[in-house]
Structure 1
Amino acid sequence: MMGLDEKAVERAWILIDGAVFDAPRFIYEYDDQPELEYLYLGTPHEPVIEVSPCLVKPSPSSRIWSEQGTWQDHAVVLMADEILPVLADHLRSLLSVKLSDGGYSYLRFYSPKQLVRLMGVFSDLERDQFSGPITDWLAVQNDGQWRRFCAEGQKSARQASEEGWFVLADHHIEALAAMAREEFATRLARYLCLNDTSRVNALIQQANSFGFRTEKEVSRFAELAVVHGERIEHPELQAILSSTEIPAGMRLNEVDKRLAYGVAS
């Protein structure tokens, strides 16, 4: 558990990912007088406000902290000495970021997994600029331990109308992609009960060579390859896997069926 002391709780806010967790229902069930703000409110994203990230300041008598295990995988905790409108507007300014090609992209910094990755690729100066008046970010990691990222908290808060001011450079994107690949390889190795990193990476590369891109597709191919071994190298199955005319899911289904019923042996 996070275990914030009384002084820290007074400065703490919870930012919940409304796309994966019913934040309002949970908040009002465990807090009679919370401060709550939908980040999509008053922005171009308001038409999908039902999946908006929610910024919450628990009341002094809140029961939300005692239910930490319920929300910690879907939220991050911030420390800031700001009033709700100012802090909410700064967070709204970060809902999307500018890319090096001039385009814009959503930034799911309110997801614990994404926040840990982002903070890992920012320099100290970038973290301070990104954080504005926020002095601390806390997010739970895959191992259940909480990670804290500190910032000076002295930068001015941005306005919601400035959304897109923060630039996510190519080196940020490359580093984020590399971290995501490494995390996926670790999860896949655990799922397949393989301790051979080279073998896991080879399976991922082989899956990619057949055009399998999503984690679900790559995982399924890797499982078939591990379970059936050399049988998946049968020319008939290789032809199916290599087909560019059949959708990825259908190819995997067909190969799975033929391996299961001994068509390729």
Structure 2
Amino acid sequence: MTLDADINLFLLLDGAKLDAPRITYQHDDAPWADWLYRGTRHEAALAVSPYLVLPSAGSRLWEQQSAWAEGGILIRAKAGPEVLVEHLRSLISVRMPSGQLSYCRFYVGTHLDRFFQVLTEAERNLFSGPIVEWRNPRADACWQTITTSGVAEAKHSENEGWFQLSEPQIEAMNGTQGQSFLARLRSYLDLDEQRESQARLQRLVREAEEKGFHSERDIVRYAELALYHPQGLHSQACQVLLDDNAMTNFEKLDQLDRQLAQGGAA
């Protein structure tokens, strides 16, 4: 695959969907590869971490696209792997209008497309840093290529949360979720289609958003906790935890889950 001399072509795999190391080393004898969560505060979730790969010159990965296309995207960047992986680590979370951090699933094609739809061209360039192109390898995907300038400053993992979203952008992204997300959430929570259940579902989603949870994954986890632990979740101890802006949404939900499972309002 021919590239400009100063541009590298990377593969970013969704570790929650694929056995990324197995696929990588099965089809490449000498790749550069690393987990995005490695060395960060998210390392406890390394098993589901995104996985960045710079294939070797003789890589067979390009010939085996069917093995990773469902859970991978291609990235062209004016950067080496050490610089790019640090920049991507800085994007693991973005900052909400409330000041809280929320996971940004830029490594999932459908999420990246929806996310970029609410950004201006200048914001897409800033977010992308040294990346000049994001590419979806699936032939049936709703988008194929997102091109950026590749000249913005590359960030470091220590800067995680530097990218800020506005309230209108959050509302626009939530609007793209629409009824399909509510239908999936209703099915997951095993709620019927009666009016009372619909109102309850909308109340759970609104409550999650008021607490600073905006990604689909965070809303699903919060709604599940609120549905099955309504009294515990609204205890003073849980509310103090929810209002702690020093924690990421993942950390909050993880701690809430453990606390409520133990009986947890204390």
Is TM > 0.5 for Structure 1 vs Structure 2?
A: yes
- For residues 4-48 of structure 1, the C-alpha deviation after alignment (integer angstroms, 9 at most, x for no partner) is x52279731111111111100110011111110111111111122
Cα gap change, 1:206 to 1:135, in 2 (>3 Å): farther
Which position in structure 2 is the counterpart of 1:195?
none
Which position in structure 1 is the counterpart of 2:90?
93
The 10-residue stretch of structure 1 (167-176 or 205-214) with the greater mean CA deviation from structure 2? 205-214
Distance 1:76 1:23 in 2: 12
Q: Percentage identity across aligned positions?
A: 37
Distance 2:194 2:35 in 1: 39
Instruction: State whether structure 2 residue 170 is matched by structure 1 residue 180.
Output: no
Question: In structure 1, what residue type is equivalent to 2:198?
Answer: N
* Structure 2 counterpart of 1:120, from 117, 125, 145: 117
Q: CA RMSD in A?
A: 3.1
Question: In structure 2, what residue type is equivalent to 1:211?
Answer: L
* Structure 1 counterpart of 2:50, from 38, 49, 53: 53
Cα gap change, 1:141 to 1:34, in 2 (>3 Å): closer
SS at match of 1:73: helix
Deviation at 1:172, TM superposition (A): 1.6
- For residues 97-151 of structure 1, the C-alpha deviation after alignment (integer angstroms, 9 at most, x for no partner) is 1110111111111011101111111100100110011111112569346521111
SS at match of 1:127: helix
SS at match of 1:14: strand
Is the contact between residue 109 and residue 136 of structure 2 (CA under 8 Å) also seen in structure 1?
A: yes
Deviation at 1:184, TM superposition (A): 5.1
Question: In structure 2, what residue type is equivalent to 1:6?
Answer: T
SS at match of 1:114: helix
Question: In structure 1, what residue type is equivalent to 2:54?
Answer: K
Cα gap change, 1:18 to 1:8, in 2 (>3 Å): farther
Which position in structure 1 is the counterpart of 2:231?
none
Instruction: State whether structure 2 residue 5 is matched by structure 1 residue 17.
Output: no
Question: In structure 2, what residue type is equivalent to 1:107?
Answer: C
Distance 1:116 1:28 in 2: 29
* Structure 1 counterpart of 2:3, from 4, 7, 18: 7
Distance 1:107 1:25 in 2: 25
* Structure 2 counterpart of 1:211, from 201, 213, 226: 201
Q: Which runs of 5+ in 2 are unaligned?
A: 185-192, 205-226, 229-266
What TM-score do you get using the length of structure 2 for normalisation?
0.66
**Structure-to-structure mapping, 1:26-175, within 5 angstroms:** 26-140=23-137, 143-144=140-141, 146-175=143-172
The 10-residue stretch of structure 1 (116-125 or 69-78) with the greater mean CA deviation from structure 2? 69-78
Cα gap change, 1:32 to 1:140, in 2 (>3 Å): closer
Distance 2:21 2:87 in 1: 21
Question: In structure 2, what residue type is equivalent to 1:73?
Answer: E
> Relative contact order, CA 8 A, sep 6+: which one is greater?
2
Q: Which runs of 5+ in 1 are unaligned?
A: 188-202, 215-245, 248-265
**Structure-to-structure mapping, 1:235-254, within 5 angstroms:** none
Is the contact between residue 15 and residue 75 of structure 1 (CA under 8 Å) also seen in structure 2?
A: yes
Distance 2:64 2:183 in 1: 29
